Amino acid sequence: MATNLEEQKQNSSSSTINEEREQPNNQPDLEKQVTQATSIIPVPKFPETDLSQGLVGWDGQDDPENPQNFAAGKKWALLALISAFTLISPLASSMFSPAVVYMAEEFHETNETILSFTVSIYLVGYVFGPLFLAPLSEIFGRRVVLSASNWFFVVWQIGCALAKNIETLIVCRLFAGIGGSACITLGAGVVADLFPIEMRGRATSIWSMGPLIGPVIGPIAGGFLGEEVSWQWIFWLLLIAGGAMQLGIEVLNKETYAPVLIKWKTAKLSKELNRNDLKSAYDIGREPLSDGQILKRSLVRPVLLLFKSPIVALLSLYMSLVYGLLYLFFTTISDVFTSNYGFTVGLSGLAYLGIGIGFFVGLMIIALTNDRIVKKLTAQNNGKFEPEMRLPTMIMFSCILPISFFWYGWTADKHVFWIVPIIGMFPFGVGMMGVFMPIQTYIIDCYPAYAASANATLTATRSLVGAFLPLAGPAMFQSLGLGWGNSLLGFLALAFVPLPIIFTKFGKQIRERWTIDLEGSKK
């Protein structure tokens, strides 16, 4: 139904004035404000169709085709589809780790750095993939980019399984990582597409379960597969699981990116009405660009965020440090429990459960508290939401995170009973979740229209560190030992504790001082 834009503005203004007049002088109590979440968090106004002005948008604020208006069950089902593959892809990053020894025997490879690189090269794919897959999803839509990338990931598992030398295996792992990075990157965009601010904390927690729990489950399954069958079967299993999952996604997945949906609607109406003057309402205020210019601008967007937004750069740095510490942890666990405690390769994978249980507990804490804290802080701020309200809990979790390095490092060094170092990994898992989840939700809140590109910046930087930092792990631990080597990492984590305090206190000033034009609007 066509709607006059000028009339909408007048109605909106008068509605605001009436609301202000009706507002009682005394503020309602805080508890009442917190429970009425939808009235606390501002509801965005969606662009509507106005054919008299040549604009195509949604058919009203309650248009059922708008992903923000999908039924709750449909929203969670779509997010579950994306989340399901985010378990398969990160699983591939670490599943091969405990079985490397069997591959080394077959290919007669003794260089420890090369062997470590066959595992970490997968994360190099996570560096390059997000930088072009996220922008492409903001041009062509989430669905087609996710589908193509997931199949790309699945196909390269065949190359890994059939590799006859270590060089071929490394190349295939790299391309598999590029394809597997799509679900890790585009999930942030889907959360922004589907969910309002007051639900994004829980949605982000569910979507992030796979990327953080997958690398923990991987060594457990990979250790037993490599020991009982063969290292090649790790990749055949990834092929079967990934292919079956993607078949389900092909059938059930839907496009969720609003600008692309309205672009399709504009093309359809232009053809039906035989009008060439129609324009997407999401393009209002943007300078007209050719397809090539749009592609170029979209591809540089993640890089712009990294180098021109200090708050994004600082958050990326902190996430990268924590992610690098996780993978340095991974470099010692299997060897410690096979050498010091006499575990088999398969059983050594179970030692990762310490971190895994910590991840799950941290995830539950964030899922249950993050949105509630945001509602409370918004109420205290006279109903004005600010993205920095996601960050205060990071301070507590950043203090928990270093505990594991001292606990695990010295108990493993002194050969204390095996359960003690495993329990020692638990605080790191809790702390890492408590740091990662608020940052990712914060980025979505800051750049909802370009959440995929913003998340691509975080994913690329942390994956770069996660891929190469662990290569220094064996030499460091050989030189310093388990106790002092892990203590060094613990002191490093402690040194970065002030960063969450800076983010919380000065994040808003930093964000507002260094703004970036990601829309391509006219000046």
Number of other CB atoms surrounding residue 298 within 10 Å: 21
What does the pLDDT look like over 377-431, one tens digit per residue? 888 888 888 888 888 889 999 999 999 999 999 999 999 999 999 999 999 999 9
Helices (H), 387-497: 393-400, 403-413, 419-424, 426-446, 451-468, 473-495
What is the model's pLDDT at position 466? 84
At 494, the amino acid letter reads L
- The answer to whether residue 269 is domain-embedded is no
pTM (2 decimals)? 0.79
pLDDT-based confidence at residue 171 (cuts at 50, 70, 90): very high
Range of the domain at 77: 67-256+292-513
The sign of the dihedral angle between the CA atoms of 385, 386, 390, 394 is negative
Count of domains observed in the chain: 1
DSSP 128-178: HHHHHHHHHHHHH-HHHHHHHHHHHHHHHHHHHHH-SSHHHHHHHHHHHHH
Letter string b/e over residues 60-82, b meaning 16 or more CB atoms within 10 A of that residue's CB: eeeeeebbbbbeeeebbebbebb
At 92, the amino acid letter reads A
- When pLDDT is averaged across residues 253-280 and rounded to a whole number, the result is 90
Model confidence at 293: pLDDT above 60: yes
CA dist list (Å): 122 to 56, 157, 461 = 43, 12, 14
What is the model's pLDDT at position 178? 94
Averaged confidence pLDDT in the chain:
83
- The answer to whether residue 325 is domain-embedded is yes
What does the pLDDT look like over 349-382, one tens digit per residue? 788 888 889 988 998 898 888 888 888 888 888 8
**Most trustworthy range by pLDDT among 86-95, 153-162, 225-234, 330-339:** 153-162
What is the model's pLDDT at position 184? 85
Model confidence at 235: pLDDT above 90: yes
- The answer to whether residue 42 is domain-embedded is no
What is the model's pLDDT at position 6? 40
- When pLDDT is averaged across residues 457-461 and rounded to a whole number, the result is 88
- The answer to whether residue 105 is domain-embedded is yes
- The answer to whether residue 229 is domain-embedded is yes
- The answer to whether residue 347 is domain-embedded is yes
Q: What is the CATH number of the domain that holds 189?
A: 1.20.1250.20
What is the model's pLDDT at position 518? 66
What does the pLDDT look like over 506-515, one tens digit per residue? 888 888 888 7
Share of the chain above pLDDT 70, in %: 89
Which of 14-23, 229-238, 501-510 shows the lowest per-residue confidence on average (mean pLDDT)? 14-23
- The answer to whether residue 192 is domain-embedded is yes
- The answer to whether residue 48 is domain-embedded is no
